[in-house]
Structure 1
């Protein structure tokens, strides 16, 4: 293997990468690029922010240039969310800027007619979400008969969102003889099982421990009563004078409610979630990037595909339903080698979710009780006594000992 995988790429690509300031490939790029160039099926696992998109788009652009531009769709990248489709499109456009290659992004929540017009002009690379891709196949504006390579980006999220049947329908419309690539930050068992069914003798590339969090992200838990979470969040943002904060909540309703309450606290906040139009989501995100919006409150739909330079803080206002989503959430900070901080506000009702996250990432998260925001131990006692009598009392006593010692859980 070359000491620098970028040297294996087309000269035009090398010049573009040099102009963009790409000198050394990341670990996932160094290992994946030669395998993709060799036509191998690949399962790539790496933490968010390590350059997975370039790891598959660069060698695929190289292959298209070597074969010659033909106008037909040769590469299909399937993503679980609109935001991720847009991000991949931006990266492909950036890397292929000095080539005749065309790329189109297809996703719902946007007018289908401009997408139809773009496809009619020819696009070698198509990026899209499963539902909108099937829409175009149904009306005949997309043809996958000449496809060379299929990429499933964030495959674990694809399964979480119930896209497996859509993916299988897509695969029936493409040649069986093709290159297939899986890239994701986490690989639960169901994703592994799917990969081995759909890929042909795949090469496994795993950078760092699978399902691990980045070393560049400092993680901290603040135990707090559920009813005081918003108050504590506003206090932390104000006291630390944070100017760009990404906050995750579980549902559309909770993101909207929290954003409205933060506005009442004097913080410029916006909510984004899957039921907002793409235009509204884009405006909120652009306002956040420009600094007009101080706090962006998002559901897990925003955990994939958000690439915000120098984002220092991520807050988990509510822990996610799926522990794997915790990794993707906090992966929005500490990207490209920069440091970041992930703070989770955890109520007693979420203790089971916290344990599931700690089990997945194989580490105990440090906890810190903040003065004035300590959980109500009497309420804790009532809660646990209702659920288990003596067991609840033991947990209450343990918490009292932790509080008296003034130490975080180790």
Structure 2
């Protein structure tokens, strides 16, 4: 199948050819015809499968087929993080003709340039919910002409506690619209959410629900918590890996690990919500061009990162929210490439692994690494105490509405 067989605008087909995209991915082949038909869509798609083009191309097609002179936003894409907003804009701009005005708005940067861009006229907006509300309150954006609404990485938006902001945004746009929702994972809360905002949606799933990236090899090493940093540096150095994305649970943990790895002679930087947007952009660019070998990130800060050719991901900590595991390892093995995801687990953290395996419906092979075997006599008691405390804290947190306190990471 070719892109032209999907009956999208010839200008888009030609541009895709220039970019080297010859045929659609499974999620694109499945979703684009339904979107062109005007149907609401609820799609399950892993990161790296081409989901941005799956919703972006048919939206661009419709905008090109029915041009408007008023230059008020006719398409709105909501995303959970600033990094994802940047990534989606970059992709859509690369597909679209030059006359198409596409703007991304998000927090962490000055409001005024975004206000000026929106007031100058725009066809499509990619936005984080909080910043969009700020801009609307200042009358910098008019959403009354929106015809298509997209929720990208909808599961993350709910995890981050954006329900109230989403409800507020829905009041700004017409009820008669096409709504598209894309997510890598699905659970009951997301299905309930979909029932409220989508009308008779087409359910599209090209992979097993909540499956991990198909071409990513997954393994797990059981190791003492106080040797994780040493082992991470050893692994990267001994294997001569040049580009590794590492996930930690906390911002403090990300900074501490980056500092330790620098001491070990591995150029490393960290990104998280306490870093300015400029610092995060500089760290990411340094990672992409190879000036640093390792980038340590929290889950929210890494959301939406698209790093071409990334082969290795290390879960320094297993995530508290099991679904995050799917998104983490999806940073490698993108666009059909193979990848390797390594997770580190201390004794007493088995409950975190069990929840991850329940989400991906698969077992992750466990092993000990020669020279870094865990001390069975030391770890069991302390870590099991910690795990019980963590479980209680997490249960309390979920009872208070999930991760609403982490929106700005």
The equivalent residue for 1:391 is none
CA deviation after TM superposition for structure 1 residue 145, in Å: 0.5
TM alignment of 1:168-183, pairs within 5 A: 168-183=167-182
The equivalent residue for 2:214 is 215
Task: Say if 1:271 and 1:15 are closer, same or farther in 2 by CA, change over 3 A.
Answer: same
CA contact under 8 A between 2:346 and 2:383: conserved in structure 1?
Answer: no
CA deviation after TM superposition for structure 1 residue 222, in Å: 0.4
CA contact under 8 A between 1:288 and 1:296: conserved in structure 2?
Answer: yes
CA deviation after TM superposition for structure 1 residue 196, in Å: 1.3
CA deviation after TM superposition for structure 1 residue 380, in Å: 4.0
Task: Say if 1:5 and 1:187 are closer, same or farther in 2 by CA, change over 3 A.
Answer: farther
Task: Say if 1:321 and 1:382 are closer, same or farther in 2 by CA, change over 3 A.
Answer: closer
CA contact under 8 A between 2:247 and 2:296: conserved in structure 1?
Answer: yes
Distance 1:384 1:34 in 2: 51
The alignment's C-alpha RMSD in Å is 1.4
Q: Secondary structure at the match of 1:349?
A: coil
1:49-96 per-position Cα deviation (integer Å, ceiling 9, x unaligned): 100000000000000011113311000000000000000100111000
TM-score (norm 1): 0.91
**Structure 1 residue 315 and structure 2 residue 314: aligned?**
yes
Which has the larger displacement, 101-110 or 342-351? Answer: 342-351
1:246-265 per-position Cα deviation (integer Å, ceiling 9, x unaligned): 00001111101111111111
Which has the larger displacement, 325-334 or 99-108? Answer: 99-108
The equivalent residue for 2:49 is 50
The equivalent residue for 1:90 is 90
Distance 1:205 1:251 in 2: 34
1:374-406 per-position Cα deviation (integer Å, ceiling 9, x unaligned): 11111245448989xxxxxxxxxxxxxxxxxxx
CA contact under 8 A between 1:246 and 1:297: conserved in structure 2?
Answer: yes
The equivalent residue for 1:360 is 359
TM alignment of 1:43-192, pairs within 5 A: 43-70=42-69, 71-96=71-96, 98-192=97-191
Task: Say if 1:283 and 1:176 are closer, same or farther in 2 by CA, change over 3 A.
Answer: same
Distance 2:364 2:244 in 1: 21
CA contact under 8 A between 1:303 and 1:328: conserved in structure 2?
Answer: no
**Structure 1 residue 281 and structure 2 residue 280: aligned?**
yes
CA deviation after TM superposition for structure 1 residue 121, in Å: 1.1
Q: Secondary structure at the match of 2:210?
A: coil
The equivalent residue for 2:326 is 327
* 5+ residue gaps, structure 2: 387-409
CA contact under 8 A between 2:78 and 2:151: conserved in structure 1?
Answer: yes
The equivalent residue for 1:29 is 28
Distance 1:56 1:64 in 2: 13
CA deviation after TM superposition for structure 1 residue 304, in Å: 2.1
CA deviation after TM superposition for structure 1 residue 277, in Å: 1.1
CA contact under 8 A between 1:245 and 1:311: conserved in structure 2?
Answer: yes
CA contact under 8 A between 1:69 and 1:101: conserved in structure 2?
Answer: no
1:76-119 per-position Cα deviation (integer Å, ceiling 9, x unaligned): 000000000000100111000x2411001100001111101111
CA contact under 8 A between 2:315 and 2:342: conserved in structure 1?
Answer: yes
Distance 1:189 1:228 in 2: 38
Task: Say if 1:43 and 1:381 are closer, same or farther in 2 by CA, change over 3 A.
Answer: closer
Task: Say if 1:147 and 1:371 are closer, same or farther in 2 by CA, change over 3 A.
Answer: same
TM alignment of 1:174-323, pairs within 5 A: 174-323=173-322
Distance 1:228 1:100 in 2: 54
1:254-286 per-position Cα deviation (integer Å, ceiling 9, x unaligned): 101111111111111100012211111000000
Task: Say if 1:328 and 1:382 are closer, same or farther in 2 by CA, change over 3 A.
Answer: closer
Higher-Rg structure is 1
CA contact under 8 A between 1:270 and 1:295: conserved in structure 2?
Answer: yes
CA contact under 8 A between 2:3 and 2:13: conserved in structure 1?
Answer: no
CA deviation after TM superposition for structure 1 residue 371, in Å: 1.3
CA contact under 8 A between 1:130 and 1:163: conserved in structure 2?
Answer: yes
Distance 2:372 2:282 in 1: 34
